[in-house]
Amino acid sequence: MFNGFIENKEEILKGYEEVIKELTDTSKIDKETEKLKGELEVISEIIRKCIEENARSKIDQGKYIERYEELVNKYEGIKSEIERINEKRFEKKVKKEKILEFIKELEGRDELITEFDEELWFGTVDRVVVNDNGKIIFVFKDGREISCKLI
């Protein structure tokens, strides 16, 4: 299975630079984060003004509380979205590290594998999924998957 990678090593490595760039690019989510942070600042300012108005003026407390809670909910929603985006950014970073580890291991191999190599296994295989139908899926650190059926 891994020998197929070694036999096509040069071809595989050529394509990885673009793959890494595409899979791990965070520029779009960085822009989205900046936009959301701007919205967070605006809402914070509106909340502050809402509180100041309530302190200065005699206003209906029911309407004030309703408006305040609406603003706070919006603020919390944006904060949650920023956290979700940050998780996405972290996942991309981890994926990049796994791919780079896979590439490093592949670059260091020139001969075909004839026996189990624990270092190679841990350096290239991310996980193995065994389904109850007897199908095994090997998921490599670069995201490639190879499946086979148990006899």
pLDDT (tens digit per residue) in 54-89:
999 888 999 999 999 999 999 999 999 999 999 999
Q: What angle do CA 49, 55, 59 make, to 5 degrees?
A: 90
The predicted pLDDT at position 128 comes to 87
User: Which run of H or of E encompasses 148?
Assistant: strand 145-149
Top-confidence residue, 61 or 12: 61
Q: Are 19 and 100 in contact (CB under 8 A)?
A: no
Report the distance separating Cα 14 and Cα 69, nearest Å.
Answer: 54
How many Cα atoms occupy the beta-carbon half-sphere of 40 within 13 Å?
Answer: 14
Read off the pLDDT of each residue in 92-108 and give the average, rounded to a whole number: 77
DSSP annotation of 135 = E
The predicted pLDDT at position 91 comes to 86
> What pairs with residue 149 in β-bridges?
135
